[in-house]
Amino acid sequence: MTIKELFSSLHLGPLDHSGDQAGTLAVTSPIDGSLIGHVKMDSPQSVAEKVGKAVEAFAIWRQMPGPQRGELVRLLGEELRAHKDALGRLVSVENGKILEEGKGEVQEMIDICDFAVGLSRQLYGLTIASERPGHAMRENWQPLGPVGVISAFNFPVAVWSWNTALALVCGDPVLWKPSEKTPFTALACQALFLRAAAKFGAAPDGLSQIVIGAADIGEALVDDPRVPLISATGSCAMGRKVAPRVASRFGRCLLELGGNNAIIVAPSADLDLAVRAIVFGAVGTAGQRCTSTRRLIIHRSIYDDLMPRLKAAFERVTVGNPLEGALVGPLIDEAALNAMDKALERARAEGGVVEGGGRVLADRYPDAFYARPAIVEMPAQKGVMMDETFAPILYAVKYDDFDAAIALQNAVSQGLSSALFSNDVREAELYLSATGSDCGIANINIGTSGAEIGGAFGGEKETGGGRESGSDAWRVYMRRQTSTVNYSTQLPLAQGISFEL
Ligand code: NAD
């Protein structure tokens, strides 16, 4: 199916963008390097205008009752259901992930819409016992204002929906700056949103808007004091720039940054399960998930059993065109391939033994960048293992003592996802205790990637501390207000303070 046919199967017409012609962005497919099309870019000035529109939309949308806001999100979910295959395919074409994962990403969008519809009737506050007679205290949750969403290339559509479905039911408009590597999927989402909004009939203009461009356009959003919340997903380097800028204007940040995720494999582990989970975690999405498995910490007693099985599985993995049934698609661009090559070179220099890696399919796809996944046996956890390389590289080290394994796992600067394979209940509970994994996600007998939307998603340390998606992540999109009502004829002061005039 050509891109044109794909667009028309989404019934989107020619995908256009109302940037102010500050320039155009040429977008290519990582599958074969072919040109998908050009998109007009925004300028700081057009971003400011769009923020103004979002502010106007907020004044209307915040007055709409939550369950009615939920109805718009229900309609958005319906559009996504109807176009799951075509949008999933567009994700694969623009981002390079395999079709199965492209469609899985759209399913995630549908799931979060369902979640948000239910949530629209459950934006609960508390009633709180007041210490003063004749007083009632409670907590109200109010809409916050326009939310700026900055997203990464690797989940080009799901991250928008995690934020937008919740923001909309919470009463907030959204301004989305997608990755400059994946603007067409963003325009497709916006077109589906506009169709849902037309069916809904009462959505104000400017409730959902897109801004297109690179870091400078992201910064225009980040610096605008009319945007009280910036939800930014991407590298730790990006978060390091964004967070202080937002803090300097006392804005709120929801940061979803890099990961360096480990799996500990203990002596009692079910190795069949472990192999499947490790391989999916390490090579799935060509190692380009924030939750990809990058480090393995294996008990010495099972190391020689597990490693050959993993190496055999790595060899069986098919690398190729993600639309034609391969399990591993291309890396996003040449810079990603160079970063992978460099990391493997460094691993060798640090005493690692590398199997796999290296560019493949260069003859068939000279303008695309496919690599064989690599598995690297390291003498110790050090150097290159401490960084996130956004590519399918899995490092393995041995451990003897369970506490030392947890310490190794926690020794990196990121704290996103983690997993333990063990059938020992003491180990499992210790891993999930205060002295266990320090990550936002800690799993037992499943891998590090592939989270469900029902839980709060995010991580600690340099991963940024943000939580989005399920559980009570909605609260960051709202303004908490504590209110006390005096229904007595007296005016007692808190803490029993006497202040007689
Ligand atoms: P990136 O940091 O290069 O870009 C992410 C987004 O930030 C893009 O839209 C980019 O234009 C924007 N950006 C960059 N600099 C900016 C600035 N100074 N101000 C405002 N915006 C700016 O990341 P990427 O290569 O697209 O994605 C890969 C990274 O994202 C990996 O580190 C991965 O772990 C991380 N990631 C994290 C999560 C999570 O939920 N924790 C999810 C997906 C990806």
Contact 146, 226 (CB under 8 A): yes
Closest CA to ligand 1's atom 7 = 234
Model confidence pLDDT, tens digit, residues 480-494: 999 999 999 999 999
CA–CA dist 244, 240 (Å, integer) = 7
Ligand 1 atom with the shortest distance to the CA of 213: 11
Best of 154, 393, 441, 460 for a ligand 1 pocket test (most atoms within 8 Å of beta carbon): 154
Closest CA to ligand 1's atom 13 = 215
DSSP state, 472?
A: T
268 C-alpha to ligand 1 centroid (Å): 38
Residues forming CATH 3.40.309.10 domain(s) in the chain: 261-444
Residue 4 has pLDDT above 90, yes or no: no
293 C-alpha to ligand 1 centroid (Å): 18
Model confidence pLDDT, tens digit, residues 75-103: 999 999 999 999 999 999 999 999 999 99
Residue 15 has pLDDT above 60, yes or no: no
Residue 1 has pLDDT above 70, yes or no: no
Ligand 1 atom with the shortest distance to the CA of 152: 26
Residue carrying structure tokens 């080009």: 156
253 C-alpha to ligand 1 centroid (Å): 14
Contact 73, 117 (CB under 8 A): yes
CA–CA dist 328, 97 (Å, integer) = 8
Residues forming CATH 3.40.605.10 domain(s) in the chain: 43-257+464-482
pLDDT reported for residue 23: 86
Please indicate whether residue 463, judged by its CB atom, sits closer than 6 Å to ligand 1: yes
Please indicate whether residue 180, judged by its CB atom, sits closer than 6 Å to ligand 1: yes
Closest CA to ligand 1's atom 16 = 215
Residue range 186-196: average pLDDT?
97
At 104, the pLDDT band (50, 70, 90 cuts) reads: very high
Residue carrying structure tokens 């589906």: 192
130 C-alpha to ligand 1 centroid (Å): 45
Contacts of 361 (CB under 8 A, 6+ apart): 319, 320, 368, 370
Helix residue spans in 395-457 (DSSP H)? 402-410, 425-431
pLDDT reported for residue 13: 55
Residue carrying structure tokens 């390091």: 240
Residue range 111-128: average pLDDT?
98
CA–CA dist 206, 60 (Å, integer) = 11
- Superfamily grouping for domain 261-444: Aldehyde Dehydrogenase; Chain A, domain 2 (3.40.309.10)
496 C-alpha to ligand 1 centroid (Å): 51
Residue range 110-115: average pLDDT?
98
The angle, 0 to 180 degrees and rounded to 10, between the axes of the packed helices 271-283 and 300-316 is: 50
DSSP state, 197?
A: H
151 C-alpha to ligand 1 centroid (Å): 6
pLDDT reported for residue 19: 62
Model confidence pLDDT, tens digit, residues 31-51: 999 999 999 999 999 999 999
Residue 7 has pLDDT above 80, yes or no: no
Sign of the CA dihedral with 143 first, then 440, 246, and 95 last: negative
At 16, the pLDDT band (50, 70, 90 cuts) reads: low
Cα separations in angstroms, 326 against 88, 374, 412: 16, 17, 32
Residue range 111-119: average pLDDT?
98
pLDDT reported for residue 244: 98
- Average pLDDT for the chain: 96
pLDDT reported for residue 3: 65
pLDDT reported for residue 20: 59
Please indicate whether residue 390, judged by its CB atom, sits closer than 6 Å to ligand 1: yes
Please indicate whether residue 153, judged by its CB atom, sits closer than 6 Å to ligand 1: yes
At 114, the pLDDT band (50, 70, 90 cuts) reads: very high
Residue 266 has pLDDT above 90, yes or no: yes
Closest CA to ligand 1's atom 1 = 234
Residue 256 known to be catalytic:
yes
Residue range 241-257: average pLDDT?
98
Residue 107 has pLDDT above 70, yes or no: yes
Please indicate whether residue 150, judged by its CB atom, sits closer than 6 Å to ligand 1: yes
Model confidence pLDDT, tens digit, residues 344-370: 999 999 999 999 999 999 999 999 999
Best of 159, 230, 235, 412 for a ligand 1 pocket test (most atoms within 8 Å of beta carbon): 235
CA–CA dist 255, 235 (Å, integer) = 10
CA–CA dist 226, 51 (Å, integer) = 7
Please indicate whether residue 285, judged by its CB atom, sits closer than 6 Å to ligand 1: no
CA–CA dist 300, 302 (Å, integer) = 6
Model confidence pLDDT, tens digit, residues 151-171: 999 999 999 999 999 999 999
Q: What is the pTM of this model?
A: 0.97
Q: pLDDT exceeding 90 applies to what percent of the chain?
A: 95
At 108, the pLDDT band (50, 70, 90 cuts) reads: very high
427 C-alpha to ligand 1 centroid (Å): 35
pLDDT reported for residue 433: 98
* Catalytic residue selected from 94, 105, 108, 256: 256
Please indicate whether residue 259, judged by its CB atom, sits closer than 6 Å to ligand 1: yes
Model confidence pLDDT, tens digit, residues 46-68: 999 999 999 999 999 999 999 99
Residue 17 has pLDDT above 70, yes or no: no
SS (H, E, C) 60-110: HHCCCCHHHHHHHHHHHHHHHHHCHHHHHHHHHHHHCCCHHHHHHHHHHHH
Q: Which CATH number fits domain 43-257+464-482: 3.40.50.2300, 3.40.605.10, 3.40.309.10, 3.30.70.1560?
A: 3.40.605.10
Ligand 1 atom with the shortest distance to the CA of 178: 9
Ligand 1 atom with the shortest distance to the CA of 234: 30
